[in-house]
């Protein structure tokens, strides 16, 4: 029987892209899913699709920039399934632009979603995982959390922060809490639609012509979760084979 079977997994940003693909894959492996994002109609459709295929899932509309809503997502998991085995801290935005454009609102949005949202997730599940003496936090960083390129400064800063947090969780988690930092390269999702600068959007769309399917990352997340409890997969970088960056 898979190590995933029966595990209670919270996924933020489950309404599209990597989160949605991961939900489908984990549901097939027998996980009990707790889906969070802002777009309710997407979450409802995903929940229905999973249940129709014999899986288990609930959803709760969640804006990760609101700590109370993230706490409520964790509470919903415990009320429905009694425990929290895994948090996939996946919600993220990527409005890339050169610093000179001073898109300060977008900088703040990236900090709020990509860093504070991840922290709120950690705060919402850590006490429960400590009580259980077991848990697994999976954070979505990026190749941009390993290298910086023009227009990526703020996004990269948030993804470097995620990488640092993953390492901190690993060290402080000790024998109880597993920590996985996932760093995708170009993956075909809705992520690039948040780029408001036309020149940057054009460059990124060119790079994304080589983008791989979201299921590639879902498989990586599945691999990390399905390892036995004494195996902690800490770092995975998954690029399109063609990606030079």
Which residues contact ligand NAP by CB under 6 A?
12-13, 15-19, 37-39, 42, 62-65, 90-94, 113, 140, 142, 184, 186-187, 189-191
Annotated catalytic residue 160:
no
Query: Of the residues 59, 120, 155, 208, which is catalytic?
Result: 155
| Residue 158 beta carbon to ligand NAP: minimum distance, rounded to whole angstroms | 8
Of 34 and 94, which CB lies nearer to ligand NAP in the complex structure? 94
| Residue 218 beta carbon to ligand NAP: minimum distance, rounded to whole angstroms | 10
Phi first, then psi: give them for residue 184, nearest 5 degrees.
-80, 150
DSSP 105-168: HHHHHHIIIIIIHHHHHHHHHHHHHHHHT-EEEEEE--GGGT---TT-HHHHHHHHHHHHHHHH
| Residue 94 beta carbon to ligand NAP: minimum distance, rounded to whole angstroms | 5
Scan for tokens 């900088």, then name that residue. Answer: 107
Of 175 and 190, which CB lies nearer to ligand NAP in the complex structure? 190
DSSP 40-60: HHHHHHHHHHHHHTT-EEEEE
- Give the whole-angstrom CA distance, residue 193 versus residue 93: 9
Q: 221, 243 in Cβ contact below 8 A?
A: no
| Residue 1 beta carbon to ligand NAP: minimum distance, rounded to whole angstroms | 29
Of 15 and 179, which CB lies nearer to ligand NAP in the complex structure? 15
Of 173 and 184, which CB lies nearer to ligand NAP in the complex structure? 184
Q: Which residues are catalytic?
A: 155
């Amino acid at each position: 029987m898979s190590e995933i079977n029966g595990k209670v997994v919270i996924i933020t940003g489950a309404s599209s892209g990597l989160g949605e693909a991961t939900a489908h894959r984990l549901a097939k492996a027998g996980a009990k899913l707790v889906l969070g994002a802002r777009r309710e109609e997407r979450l409802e459709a995903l929940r229905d699709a999973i249940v129709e295929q014999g899986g288990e899932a609930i959803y709760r509309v969640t804006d990760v920039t609101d700590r109370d809503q993230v706490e409520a997502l964790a509470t919903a998991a415990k009320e429905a399934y009694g425990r929290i085995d895994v948090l996939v801290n996946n919600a993220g935005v990527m409005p890339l632009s050169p610093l000179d454009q001073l898109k300060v609102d977008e900088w703040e949005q990236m900090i709020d979603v990509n860093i504070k949202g991840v922290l709120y997730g950690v705060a919402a599940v850590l006490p429960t995982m400590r009580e259980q003496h077991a848990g697994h936090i999976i954070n979505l960083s990026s190749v941009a959390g390993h290298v910086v390129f023009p227009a990526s400064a703020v996004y990269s800063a948030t993804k470097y922060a995620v990488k640092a947090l993953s390492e901190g969780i690993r060290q402080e988690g000790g024998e109880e809490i597993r920590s996985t930092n996932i760093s995708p390269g170009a993956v075909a999702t809705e992520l690039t639609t948040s780029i408001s600068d036309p020149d940057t959007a054009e460059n990124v769309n060119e790079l994304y012509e080589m983008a791989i399917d979201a299921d590639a990352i879902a498989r990586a997340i599945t691999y990390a979760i399905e390892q036995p409890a004494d195996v902690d997969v800490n770092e995975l970088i998954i690029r399109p084979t063609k990606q030079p960056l």
